[in-house]
Structure 1
Amino acid sequence: MHGSHHLIVQSAHLKYEFDIKRNITIIKGDSATGKTTLADMVREYVLNGADTGITVSCDVPCRILEGNTWQEQLSIINSSIVFIDEGNSFVSSLDFANAIKGSTNYFVIITRENLHALPYSVDEIYGIHSSGKYNSFEPVYHELYRIYVNESESVINPDVLIIEDSNSGFDFFSSVCSDNVE
């Protein structure tokens, strides 16, 4: 799969809407932010369809991957968005990393762990932001937000730059900051 995929997962009271842009998307965050609820809604929809009152709207199928039989499950899933909820220890294994390297799927991994074996972008690590009230019958709208800000979006322009190096470091910064060298 290539490109971005817009995904809406909703029930009568909850709505998650976000774009999946790369093959690995990580969702992190504190307890009670709705991470597992998102995975549960996808699981319920995959198992029982629209009869659950949950709708999943996306241009590709959404699946759930879990348990000790993850390899068999993954072997029959193609060109889909695969959700993996936290608590599945296989996510941090080298076997899983090797299995997804050549996969045609996109993966949404809900975890609090660092996944050193997986090659994911810091631009694709998200948290869930909720707006609305949990206690009312109004729909709760969930959106993802970036945990790490892109460097190009937050440019730092210092007034003073102090360099201890009098050789190559000084030469480098002198050429980069040639307008401000004293």
Structure 2
Amino acid sequence: MKGSYEITVSNAKIHYNFTIRRNITIIKGDSATGKTTLVDMIRDYYEAGDDSGIVLICERTCRVLEGRNWRILLDGIEKTIVFIDEDNSFLPTNEFAEAVQKSDNYYVIVTREGLPNLPYSVEEIYGIRESGKYASLKQTYNELYHIYGRTDYREPVKPEYVIVEDSNAGYEFFKGISKREECSVISAGGKSNIFGELIKSRAAQILVIADGAAFGSEMDRVMKLIMRRKGIVLYLPESFEWLILKSGIAEGKELKTILEKPEEFIESSEYLSWERFFTNLLVRVTKDTYFKYSKRKLNEVYLHENISPKILRDMVEIEL
């Protein structure tokens, strides 16, 4: 399944309206914020239709997945927007993560805890904001990068310590373009190791570079650390490959259109997260060219003084 879908759910008392555009959407928030009410309304409409007193408008079928027989039920669900409440014990399991990876559904998951087994985007984590009888999803983390601990941020950030999620081409690039002797660049060797690297470092100014397309499960604990400790900057593009594609270096007939609306091109049954799609796209459009890309080892042409600044154009106010 691919594309974006607007969902409107309402009854006589409350109205929800929101749009989802990736295969995994997370709804967070404390008790009594309307999360469970939304799931209940989806369930009631699926079971009773118009007799439920609920109006649900969406191009796709919406239903709830729950209970001990979730796997049997999921095997029979296709091209559906599946809602899951947080009290289901299967949510954090590897079995569920594997089932999501193999399906062509979209999932809207209500949870207060991170789900490290699932690679979901920092842009698709929402809270519910209520206003009178109307409720809508508001993004909890709604930018590609965030500056925490400096509310009066004015000057360019000059990190002493840079932690790169990637251990391959992305790390080699940021290590290679760093010109300041006082700036150390290290690889975390994966998103789950970033928190530990932050804890270990005593640098006053730290920059974290990670794939925003899959970093969602780490945001809770990293944010809590940032609230206690100043000087940590998060730079979260979709992925390193997305930065290259967006730079204009690579050429392709549909490239601009794809980057403007990736959700229209990314099939959820093929790509569990968007960074995998962008990697495959970059490999494809640079094949047999001077810019041939490999994730395992960086093509040194990307470090050229005329090329690297184009890749870094979106990295505003951060100086390496």
State the TM-score, normalized to the length of structure 2: 0.48
In the alignment, the residues of structure 2 paired with residue 162 and residue 11 of structure 1 have an alpha-carbon distance, to the nearest angstrom, of 51
Q: CA RMSD in A?
A: 2.4
Number of matched pairs:
165
1:158 pairs with one of 116, 135, 155: 155
Q: How does 1:1-182 map to 2 (within 5 A)?
A: 1-132=1-132, 140-151=133-144, 157-158=154-155, 161=158, 170=180
DSSP-derived class of the 1:45 partner: helix
SS of residue paired to 2:50: helix
Q: 1:149, CA displacement in angstroms?
A: 2.9
- Mapped partners of 2:93, 2:146: distance in 1: 34
CA distance in 2, matches of 1:163, 1:23: 37
What is the deviation of 1:10? 0.6
Larger RCO: Structure 1 or Structure 2 (Cα < 8 Å, ≥ 6 residues apart)? 1
Are residues 151 and 11 of structure 1, via their aligned partners in 2, closer, same or farther at CA, if it must alter by over 3 Å? Answer: same
**In structure 2, what is the Cα distance between the partners aligned to 1:78 and 1:144?**
25
Shift of 1:114: 1.1
What is the CA–CA distance in structure 2 between the aligned matches of 1:28 and 1:160, rounded to whole Å?
A: 30
Q: Offset at 1:151?
A: 3.2
The alpha carbon displacement at 1:63 in A equals 1.0
Q: Among all aligned residue pairs of Structure 1 and Structure 2, give the percentage whose two residues are the same amino acid.
A: 48
Measure, in 1, the Cα distance between the counterparts of 2:8 and 2:104: 21
Contact 1:163/1:169, CA 8 A, preserved across alignment = no
Shift in alpha-carbon separation, 1:118–1:5, aligned structure 2, 3 A: same
Give the aligned residue type for 1:36: T
Q: 1:8 to 1:172 in 2, by over 3 A?
A: farther
Q: In 1, distance between residues paired with 2:77 and 2:144?
A: 35
Q: Summarize the Cα distance change of 1:163–1:69 in structure 2 as closer, same or farther, 3 Å threshold.
A: closer
- 3-state SS of paired residue (2:7): strand
C-alpha distance 85-160 of structure 1, shift in aligned 2 (>3 A): closer
Amino acid at match of 2:139: R
Q: Does the aligned pair in 2 maintain the 1:125–1:148 contact within 8 Å?
A: yes
- State the Cα distance separating 1:159 from its structure 2 match: 5.7
CA distance in 2, matches of 1:160, 1:118: 31
Higher-strand-fraction structure: 1
Indicate conservation of the 8 Å contact 2:123/2:144, yes or no.
no
Amino acid at match of 2:142: V
Runs of at least 5 residues in structure 2 that lack an aligned partner in the other structure: 148-152, 162-177, 184-304, 310-318
Distance 1:15 1:157, change over 3 A: same
Specify the SS of the correspondent of 1:91. Answer: coil
Please report how far the alpha carbon of residue 3 of structure 1 lies from its aligned counterpart in structure 2 after TM superposition. 0.9
